[in-house]
A and B are shown apart, each in its own frame.
Chain A
Amino acid sequence: MEFIVNHLDLSLFAVLVTVGYAAGTFAERRHYASILTRERAQRQFQVMNAEAYFAEGRVKNSFMVSGSAVISIDYFKRLLAILRNIFGGRVKAYESLVDRARREAILRMKEEALTRGADMVVNLRLETAAIGNAANRRGRIGSVEVLAYGTAVTLNKT
């Protein structure tokens, strides 16, 4: 007890790390579950990042669609990343962060395309931006934004 009082900042840090780990792991698992079910549901919808060439009269309509997601790192993973920065190598803590952001952004783009009645998305492009670049600095948020955009195409039914 006395130790906790004497090292208030240390105790607070330990609490934050534990909470970060528990909440972060829970949130990540739930997010992945939701990503997987939605991806499965949208599997039949085709997306490619290549340009597509269509025969005359095949395309009814085309428009831009986009989707974006900002995902933040939890306190525990931030600690891992800070430590990893000392030794170098693969920053595993951030891998799931960018993976989740990217898949979420693509899903949202597909959702937009689907609700607007598109049949496919071509020429998909992905942009990543780090918000709060100095993620290890005090008071900054370590998070990443992914923007997915492409051209949605509605085909004439033959």
Chain B
Amino acid sequence: MKYIARELTENVNVSKSHPLAELAWLAGGLLAVVAILYLSLWWVADRIVPRVPVQVEVWAGQQLMARFPNRPDPQLTERVRNLVRLLPAASPLHRYDFSVSVMEQETVNALALPGGRIVIFSGLLKQIESENELTMILGHELGHYAHRDHLRGMGRGLGMTLALAMLFGQHSQVAGMASNLLIGMEMRYSQQQEKSADAYGLDLLVQTYGHAGGATDFFLRLADQDEGKLAYLLASHPHPQDRIAGLRKMIARQGYAVGPTVPLPETLVHQSRECP
């Protein structure tokens, strides 16, 4: 047979579509899938979380948090326990073993971790000037426990991480990055959750001191400050002005008295000022 040299006119083995168009399609599809997953997880978490027994949560919290050093602050821990003692006997919070630790970090925030571990950043402690304010903040965190807000967020975060690992494979960089972002997002609570936690804290404050003095002091101080410094808090909480307005409305509705505040005991002031 004779060889005839001919040239191929086009390359059939490579698709003609533009790679950027394909990326747009795929990324859009992925976003849709993630959105659907997220909404269904939200729905499931809302139904499961209120039914998780506290014992299970405490156990899971210990498993999860075993890796992080926990050096509870005895003074603050005692304060939280005193607050819990004020609660009615039926309150599920009695089943937690609360501990409060201080983390050396400039951010103005506190975290409610599963299993009753409250973490307060030293940046927040520095802003506090009276016992009443401290009680308000601790009460606010207890409110998150009472409403199981921390579990909702954790559940969704874990669910999303799992789903992403399934989508991309466990070791994929993409999955790792996406879950980091999502877990960060999930540690936040909704505005409504923050509001009910504030209400919970306010009630505890009134039960402790007999009046609502100092409830808004902390937020007033924050509201005066530069917003850039509070970026972290603002990203996760309603604006201090809104919280003040909300708290004032609650105080008025309940008819709480507002009395003088008690300054922080020397030991705590000392500790909070010491932080770099």
Contacts and interface: CB of A to CB of B under 8 A. Distances in A.
Interface stretch (A40-48, A59-67, A141-149): A40-48
A82 B180 CA distance: 19
A10 B19 CA distance: 21
A13 B15 contact: no
Contacts, number: 72
A136 B177 contact: no
B22 interface: yes
B23 interface: yes
Interface residues of B, number: 29
Contact of A99 (B13, B167, B168): B13
Contacts of A9: 177, 180
Contact of A137 (B26, B167, B169, B181): B169
Nearest to A77: B19
Nearest to B18: A92
Interface in B42-97: none
Given A82-B172, A93-B19, A136-B172, A87 B7 contact: no
Contacts of B171: 137-138
A14 B173 CA distance: 13
A77 B19 CA distance: 8
A95 B5 contact: no
Contact of B13 (A2, A79, A80, A95): A95
A83 B181 contact: no
Interface of A: 2, 7, 9-10, 13, 21, 25, 39-40, 43-44, 46, 76-77, 79-80, 82-84, 86-87, 90, 92-93, 95-96, 98-99, 120, 136-138
